[in-house]
């Protein structure tokens, strides 16, 4: 039984899908005008892991993540660089997909682009107007928040602050009936991209995009809607007003929000200028280290970023990687086929590791606890599934190890220019090269290969069973 902390009710709730064994999941996607920073990488990694977990226990997940490819920031960037908006978005969509791949984040089932979804967006705005939930003034369409009685149900606290006049998150204009009203459609300015609509040649507001795309790809009622906690207000609050207003059905049954990645206890953000791109951190520490780092904390806890913490994360991940190579080495070199009684007794402990791993993940995706159980399994493997153990025993430990690490997606071949970025397969190729050189009595070449691997953070050892390697 999976429990999810639901921002809407502010408590953990048992997960019950709309359709049996299926998850309809929408994660707000990036506005594509720059490279993502590592704060942005947090929701990518977290919600990919949530998806992987559901899939690992047999759910079919329809995972939708949009690209916002029309926006003021994109237009500004295009003007600055003397390019078309199309050139800008095409480039950054490609780069964002590369970043996701480097983080072992799976492709969404659908990656809709706003500019390709105008029909659905315009249709939804028209429905809202017809229902008296939106109104047009001089070509701009606003959502009429006072006509939607449940407005504010997701972010109550933020609204109270707003009413006290302490927030600047709502744009003040003369045209609005109520200052909480927000834009659904706005007329173009000179030189801006536009689409025809019954109200003006222009483009949609940010919030309506997600409501329209969620409806098209997932239906009126979805299971999980997710994003960073800064999206609660106004973005997600407004999505609820639009979708529930237009569809007259509950929009999302569970709302999940990740907490911030901070630097010096301040949110990492473009506007504060205290950000590091995922590229620079990934190249310096390895993209898999970034993934491991994000999973080492619960997604609703703030997480601080620093070079030392990344080093520590790298060391932690290395312990898991080394356990894998040790297990693989032991597995392929053990000649004992007959499992011993002692090993049979030890095997009884395996279901316990697995059960506790699931317990952690089912408790609102507690990846921090899940990782600590993987570390216990590493310790177990290092103690018992090594040289001298029997093949069937090693295999059982290995299978569980792979199963659990795969759910978190932490062991993978990642692209990085970092020196120890050699994959297991590449390392094996070098070892084979060295073995051949030794056979041919070319000791100089054999030493060269050993030195090369050492420079890349790989130590090789000659043992009775053959050559094994270790990352240091």
Considering CB distances under 5 to 8 angstroms, the limit depending on partner class, which of ligand AMP, Zn ion, none binds residue 267?
ligand AMP
State how far the alpha carbon of 302 is from the alpha carbons of 133, 257, 299, 364, in Å: 37, 12, 8, 16
Q: Which residues contact 9 (CB under 8 A, 6 or more apart)?
A: none
Q: Residue 205, interface with ligand AMP (CB under 6 A)?
A: no
| Contact predicate 239/210, CB 8 Å | yes
Rounded CA gap, 367 and 296, in Å?
6
Closest distance to Zn ion from the beta carbon of 423 (Å)? 36
Q: What pairing do the DSSP bridges indicate for beta strands 261-263 and 266-267?
A: antiparallel
For ligand AMP, the binding residues in 230-259 under the rule CB under 6 A are 230-231, 258
Rounded CA gap, 51 and 367, in Å?
13
CA dihedral 165, 168, 174, 177 (to 10 degrees): -60
Rounded CA gap, 110 and 101, in Å?
16
For residues 17 and 228, which CB has a smaller minimum distance to ligand AMP in the complex? Answer: 228
Q: Residue 67, interface with ligand AMP (CB under 6 A)?
A: no
Q: Residue 42, interface with ligand AMP (CB under 6 A)?
A: yes
Q: Residue 327, interface with Zn ion (CB under 5 A)?
A: no
The interface mask with Zn ion, positions 26-45, x = CB under 5 A, is --x-----------------
Q: What is the CA radius of gyration of the chain?
A: 26
H helix runs in 14-69, sequence order: 38-56
Q: Residue 39, interface with ligand AMP (CB under 6 A)?
A: yes
Considering CB distances under 5 to 8 angstroms, the limit depending on partner class, which of ligand AMP, Zn ion, none binds residue 210?
Zn ion
For ligand AMP, the binding residues in 350-389 under the rule CB under 6 A are none
Considering CB distances under 5 to 8 angstroms, the limit depending on partner class, which of Zn ion, ligand AMP, none binds residue 298?
none
Considering only 176, 267, 291, 414, the residue that binds ligand AMP (CB under 6 A) is: 267
Rounded CA gap, 437 and 346, in Å?
41
Q: Of 14-22, 266-274, 276-284, 397-405, which part binds ligand AMP (CB under 6 A)?
A: 266-274
Q: Residue 43, interface with ligand AMP (CB under 6 A)?
A: yes
Q: How many Cβ atoms sit within 10 Å of the Cβ of residue 306?
A: 11
Closest distance to ligand AMP from the beta carbon of 43 (Å)? 4
Q: Note the Cα 385 to chain centre separation in Å.
A: 33
Q: Residue 50, interface with ligand AMP (CB under 6 A)?
A: no
Q: Residue 31, interface with ligand AMP (CB under 6 A)?
A: yes
Closest distance to ligand AMP from the beta carbon of 464 (Å)? 50
SS3 267: strand
Rounded CA gap, 393 and 386, in Å?
10
Considering CB distances under 5 to 8 angstroms, the limit depending on partner class, which of ligand AMP, Zn ion, none binds residue 228?
ligand AMP
Preceding amide of 234 cis, omega within 30: yes
Q: How many of the chain's residues bind Zn ion (CB under 5 A)?
A: 2
Name the residues that contact ligand AMP, by CB under 6 A: 28, 30-31, 39-40, 42-43, 227-228, 230-231, 258, 260-261, 267-269
Name the residues that contact Zn ion, by CB under 5 A: 28, 210
């Amino acid at each position: 039984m999976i429990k999810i902390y639901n921002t809407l009710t502010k408590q953990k709730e048992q997960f019950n899908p709309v359709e049996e064994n299926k998850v309809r999941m929408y994660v707000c996607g990036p506005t594509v005008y720059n490279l993502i920073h590592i704060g942005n990488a947090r929701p990518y990694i977290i919600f990919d892991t949530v998806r992987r977990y559901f899939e690992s226990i047999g759910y079919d997940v329809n995972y939708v993540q949009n690209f916002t490819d029309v926006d003021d920031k994109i237009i500004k960037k295009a003007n600055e660089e003397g390019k078309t908006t199309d050139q800008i978005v095409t480039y950054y969509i490609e780069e964002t997909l590369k970043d996701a791949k480097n983080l072992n984040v799976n492709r969404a089932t659908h990656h809709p682009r706003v500019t390709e979804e105008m029909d659905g967006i315009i249709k939804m705005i028209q429905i809202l107007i017809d229902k008296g939930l939106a109104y047009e003034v001089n070509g701009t369409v606003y959502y009429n928040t006072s006509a939607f009685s449940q407005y504010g149900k997701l972010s109550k606290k933020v609204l109270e602050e707003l009413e006290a006049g302490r927030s600047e998150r709502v744009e003040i204009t003369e045209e609005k009936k109520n200052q909480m009203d927000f834009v659904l459609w706005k007329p173009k300015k000179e030189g801006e991209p536009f689409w025809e609509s019954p109200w003006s040649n222009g483009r949609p507001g940010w919030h309506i995009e997600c409501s329209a795309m969620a409806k098209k790809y997932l239906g009126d009622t979805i299971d999980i809607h997710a994003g960073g906690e800064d999206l609660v207000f106004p973005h997600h609050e407004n999505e609820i007003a639009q979708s529930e207003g237009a569809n007259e059905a509950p929009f999302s049954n569970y709302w999940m929000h990740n907490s911030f990645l901070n630097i010096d206890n301040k949110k990492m953000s473009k506007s504060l200028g205290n950000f590091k791109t995922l590229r620079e951190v990934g190249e310096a520490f390895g993209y898999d280290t970034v993934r491991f780092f994000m999973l080492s904390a619960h997604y609703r806890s703030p997480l601080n970023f620093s070079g030392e913490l990344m080093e520590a994360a790298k060391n932690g991940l290395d312990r898991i990687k080394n356990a894998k190579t040790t297990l693989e080495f032991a597995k392929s070199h053990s000649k004992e086929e007959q499992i011993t009684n002692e090993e049979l007794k030890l095997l009884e402990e395996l279901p316990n590791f697995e059960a506790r791993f699931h317990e952690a993940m089912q408790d609102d995706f507690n990846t921090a606890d899940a990782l600590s159980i993987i570390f216990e399994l590493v310790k177990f493997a290092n103690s018992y599934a090594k040289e001298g153990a029997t093949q069937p025993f090693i295999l059982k430990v290995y299978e569980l190890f792979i199963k659990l690490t795969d759910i978190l997606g932490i062991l993978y071949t990642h692209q990085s220019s970092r020196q120890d970025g050699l994959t297991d397969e590449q390392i094996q190729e070098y070892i084979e090269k060295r073995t051949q050189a030794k056979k041919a009595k070319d000791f100089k070449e054999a030493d060269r290969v050993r030195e090369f691997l050492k420079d890349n953070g790989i130590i090789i050892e000659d043992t009775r069973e053959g050559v094994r390697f270790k990352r240091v």
